[in-house]
Amino acid sequence: MLYPLEPSAFRRLLEVLGEPSEVELEIVVRDERLKEFLGMGDVKYLSVRCRTRLGIEDVVKLYEEYYMNRVDISGSHPGSRIVTLFKAFWYLSGSIVTFDGFELRIRSYGGVEKLLEVLKLFSDRNMDIVIEVSSREPKP
């Protein structure tokens, strides 16, 4: 079984990349008012999926909830919500970075200094690095 990146390592990633440009979340909720509003009488849980911008503290808190949900093999989920999807996006100068708890994807179109810092963070992990060497026009 694969487990997501531990929250302490995620915090180190945030130290290097800063606040995500946006976060995609799916949260399963048990909310009687929402169920009533939507006219979903017999439904026990509802899924809410959104893409938003959040401060670092909220991002860390939601990632920790996501992590705990993924590693909790007992299946017990206290509270009225369960974070089932977490994906952070950083739109940096010349790069796009995405992180979903299991994979960190980096697409770079220029400078690599920040990306090298990220790679150093995970030097003890398995890495698959693909460098696209093709171009839109022939090079002499």
- CA dihedral sign of residues 7, 13, 16, 21: negative
H helical segments located in the chain: 7-17, 32-38, 56-71, 113-121
94: tokens are 């010349």
Any long-range contacts for 31-38 (C-beta under 8 Å, 24+ apart)? 31/80
Instruction: Report how far residue 37's alpha carbon sits from residue 40's, in angstroms, rounded to the nearest whole number.
Output: 8
> What pLDDT digit, counting tens, does each position of 80-100 carry?
788 999 999 999 888 899 999
pTM score, two decimals? 0.81
Per-residue pLDDT tens digits for 40-50: 777 777 888 99
pLDDT tens-digit readout, 15-37: 999 999 999 999 988 776 776 77
Look at the block and give the residue holding tokens 């200094």: 113
At residue 117, what are phi and psi to the nearest 5 degrees? -60, -40
State the amino acid at position 1 in one-letter form: M
Q: Residue 124 and residue 91: Cα distance in Å, rounded?
A: 25
For the chain, what are the domain ranges?
A: 7-121
Integer Cα distance of 77 and 81 in angstroms:
8
Percent of the chain with pLDDT over 70: 86
Check if the beta carbon of residue 16 is closer than 8 Å to that of residue 118: yes
Cα separation, 118 vs 17, whole angstroms:
8
